[in-house]
A and B are shown apart, each in its own frame.
Chain A
Amino acid sequence: MAVLDDGAWQAIRLTLELASLTTLLLLIIATPLAWWLSQTRSKWRAPIGALVTLPLVLPPTVLGFYLLVLMGPQGPLGQLTLALGWGTLSFTFTGLLIGSIVFSLPFAVQPIQHAFEAIGPRPLEAAATLRASPLDAFFTVALPLARPGLLTASILSFAHTVGEFGVVLMIGGNIPGQTRVVSTQIYGHVEAMEYAQAHWLAGGMVAFSFVILLSLSLLRRSGGGFMR
């Protein structure tokens, strides 16, 4: 008998897909947001910063609940998607993706924001004196110098998405091949008393998380020199 059954492989594939897409979209969303937070002197900086950090402290069920309401047929997002003929997003992969992005947002924004702040104004001023427009300086100076922060953000977002459970359960349900990820799969195995299957998946998650944290600390040590 195979160690992992088809359902497990399906869950693993779905988890990796979800985590990769979430990470990719988060980098695109979080980088400008982090840049704005690191540069602005607007009075909105503090409230927006707090809002971005909120998913870090809220119970996933609270977050999942509001997302569910938002995406449901009565919610504004749900009504929009219905009007566009897409149906509702709850209990779909897309809904899960949106939930994951919101849930992991602070894990992406904070390392990038700190990296931008650590650069300080000097390199960007130097770029301006060398005829680089602000956009040019952002891509050729700020982004390369913030590379360690971007890497940390990617790894954390990916790992955090793989590890999410509460939000998935609230807005994704547990539909095989659609929204059933590894964490909900384990939950299902335990419910059904299939401990052997649960062991393999759970052990795999422990090993995966350990490798992630180890590579992160190794990265910090080698990448740090670059920032100084």
Chain B
Amino acid sequence: MSAEMEAGADVNRVRLALARSEFAVDVDLDLPARGITVLFGASGSGKTTVLRCVAGLERASEGFVRIGGEVWQDDAKGVFLPTWRRSLGYVFQESSLFEHLDARRNLEYGLRRARTPGGREALDEAIELLGIRALLARRPAQLSGGERQRVAIARALATRPRLLLLDEPLASLDLPRRREIMPWLERLRDQLAVPMLYVTHSVDELSRLADRVVVLEQGRTLAAGPVGEVLAQGDLPVLAGEDAAAVIEGVVGERDAHWHLARVRLDGGDGIFVRDGGQAVGARVRMRVLARDVSLALEAPQRSSIQNHLHGVVETVMEDVHPSQALVRVRCCGQALISRLTCKSVEELRIRPGLPVWALVKSAAVIA
């Protein structure tokens, strides 16, 4: 294989190894050219360290970082670019705006230094995307926590980075502020052609924002893949427990004004009813389905209060946290759902991989 083809095969590649007194990190990531890859894990799992190493703020003892085809670190060849020579944007957990500059001059700080062609337009677009035009004359001290983070994100985008790194950007905010910023982040994900590496320990943020997930535990990759697949694995301790849930996607097919319901059609054609949240017909939405809200039946139920019936096939039966229960992964319309059943039901219905079943979804929450 030629060197060129190899470079094209993985344009964004991050391989890091380092040992600290508290933990060791050993990861190998492949980032798609766009979309959000979430680094997910409990605190102390090393996810922030990974992010800081990618940025060059900390140095992995053995590392290879190539972003947009440009090598930032290659310890085999003694290459290490300092942070300020890397084309990246970084959003810190707490506000990192320069207190002595107003919002506009904060935004222009990186723009002036990066001198990337089209930076001015990129900044304008970011100001628009993040809705901060009215805030430009204010000092950071005059901005709310949510506004500061939006300015910080725009500031990071103004340099037209090849990679956007976000380190728990919502963690320092209270719930209402988080809800306020989340839609802006979704817009970035859907509209920017920049790969984003997003660190969080919140399942909520993971479910709403991630395209791909890398689950870290004590510095090691526990699972990696598209969000729907990783969440439905069901055997990841960090994602199991009471709130074990799957994320599925579909398109709003019709809205029923009388019952305030919307029917979301999954890719395979089956549809489920969800509370009408005002999404337009034709909009693509993401739904979170808790394992405890999914029951299984061997035949199509006739008269049941549960109206959402999806036909599927059992993939695996896994142990749950409590010995009385099991988590069953079912593939419906190409997407994975998980269902929490008692082991007794699993035994009596003889639920096993390959069995065709009906998944009865009691409720699904539209999250994005």
* A residues with CB within 8 A of B: 122-123, 125-134, 136-137, 140-141, 144-145, 147, 225-228
Contacts and interface: CB of A to CB of B under 8 A. Distances in A.
Contacts of A141: 98
Nearest to B152: A126
Contact of A145 (B57, B99, B110, B155): B99
A136 B96 contact: no
B367 to A, nearest CB: 30
A141 B101 CA distance: 9
15 contacts: A123-B98, A126-B92, A126-B96, A127-B98, A128-B83, A128-B84, A129-B84, A129-B90, A129-B110, A129-B156, A130-B155, A130-B159, A131-B110, A133-B84, A141-B98
Contact of B109 (A122, A127, A228): A127
Interface string B73-89: 00000000011110011
Interface in B105-148: 109-110, 113-114, 141
Nearest to B97: A126
* 5 interchain residue pairs of minimum CB distance: A130-B110, A131-B113, A129-B90, A128-B83, A126-B96
A184 B355 CA distance: 102
Nearest to B56: A128
Contact of A144 (B57, B92, B100): B100
Interface string B30-61: 00000000000000000000000001010000
B99 A122 contact: no
Contacts of A125: 57, 83, 90, 92, 96
B48 to A, nearest CB: 12
B140 to A, nearest CB: 11
Contacts of A128: 57, 82-84
B141 A225 contact: yes
Contacts of A131: 84-85, 110, 113-114, 159
Main secondary structure of the interface of B (DSSP, over half): mixed
Contacts of B100: 144-145, 147, 226
Nearest to A131: B113
Interface residues of B, number: 24
Interface of B: 55, 57, 82-85, 88-90, 92, 94, 96-100, 109-110, 113-114, 141, 155-156, 159
A180 to B, nearest CB: 43
Contacts of B82: 128
Nearest to A133: B84
B98 A126 contact: yes
Contacts of A145: 98-100
Nearest to A143: B100
Nearest to A147: B100
Contacts of B90: 125-126, 129
Nearest to B116: A131
Contacts of B99: 123, 145, 226-228
A129 B113 contact: no
B55 A130 contact: no
Contacts of A227: 99
A39 to B, nearest CB: 15
B200 to A, nearest CB: 19
Nearest to B165: A129
B6 to A, nearest CB: 29
Given A125-B90, A145-B99, 20 more contacts: A122-B94, A122-B96, A123-B96, A125-B96, A126-B90, A126-B92, A126-B97, A126-B98, A129-B83, A129-B84, A129-B110, A129-B156, A130-B155, A131-B113, A132-B84, A136-B113, A137-B84, A141-B98, A144-B98, A227-B99
A123 B140 CA distance: 13
- Select the residue from B57, B85, B92, B113 with max chain A CB neighbours within 10 A: B113
- Select the residue from B84, B114, B155 with max chain A CB neighbours within 10 A: B84
Contacts of A123: 96, 98-99
A134 B89 CA distance: 17
Contacts of B110: 129-131
Nearest to B85: A131
A120 to B, nearest CB: 10
A225 B139 CA distance: 12
A132 B57 CA distance: 13
Given A141-B98, A145-B98, A145-B99, A129 B109 contact: no
A129 B141 contact: no
A126 B57 CA distance: 10
Contacts of A144: 98, 100
Nearest to A122: B96
A109 B294 CA distance: 67
Nearest to A227: B99
Contact of B113 (A132, A147, A225, A228): A132
Contacts of A130: 84, 109-110, 113-114, 155-156, 159
Nearest to B84: A128
B55 A129 contact: yes
A122 B92 contact: yes
B88 A129 contact: yes
A77 to B, nearest CB: 40
- Select the residue from B96, B97, B159 with max chain A CB neighbours within 10 A: B96
